[in-house]
Every structure is written in C-alpha cells, then in structure tokens.
Structure 1
C-alpha cells in the first residue's frame, strides 16, 4: 500500500510517530533514538503541534481501515 521508508532517514519525532502509529511504513525494524537528541522541555506550541500530528496519523489510519472495510463490503455484496 505505502512505500517503505528507511528509519535512518527520519527525524526523531517522525520516527517516534511512525513507530507508534504507522509501523507498516518503516522498511526495517525501528532504530534507536538519535544519540545527539537534546533533553529540553517542549514549548506548549510544540506539544500542541505534536498532539495534532498524532491525531492526524490516527485519523489517517482509521480512514484507511474504513476504506478497506467498504471495499470488502462492496466485494462481498455480490456474493450474498
């Protein structure tokens, strides 16, 4: 369905998002977080943006499942 992406090419945030919500898009097993990651507090704006990104990924996953269910229902409609 989706082309596989090498985890080594992703930013830390995108890798974490994909590991949690879209594992099927990663080409290999998830890699370790970057060693040079900075340990800082995120701003409220960054946290809100991160939450919005998580919600978008979850919505995309739900939409893909709904499309798959609709396709299957359409396929099964003629078999009854």
Structure 2
C-alpha cells in the first residue's frame, strides 16, 4: 500500500459497510419497492406548460411549434 492509503484510511465513509440498523431496515423492504430514482423525480411538478403544435414543415416534415419562425428547422430547403 502507498503512503496516501495510510494517510487517509480513517477518513470518509465506506459504502460497503452498513450499520445493523440500516441492514435491518433494508431487509424488511422488498427490492421491487425500493426506487433508486425517487429523489430525482420527487420535485417534478404536476402541471407543465406545453407548447401548441403548428403545421409541420412542408419541406422536411419536421414538427413545428406555434411561435417558431418559418426557416427555423431547415431554412425552407
């Protein structure tokens, strides 16, 4: 082992080691009930603003939105 290992071996946490309390709480839940992305999706609003669609581009058939300019998708060919 190198010197850095000995310098920093007692700092930080080891994710592989769980306390007995954590192991007990983890074993009582079903693995299918645990959602690893729960914290990621917890702040998504119920209502979102969706832009209204306009007629597709006649040249390239790209989907366009109401406030989009005429040459935005393909510069009209």
Do these two structures clear the TM 0.5 threshold for a shared fold by scoring above it? no
- Taking structure 1 as the reference length, the TM-score comes to 0.21
- The alignment's TM-score, normalised by the length of structure 2, stands at 0.21
Structure of greater Rg: 2
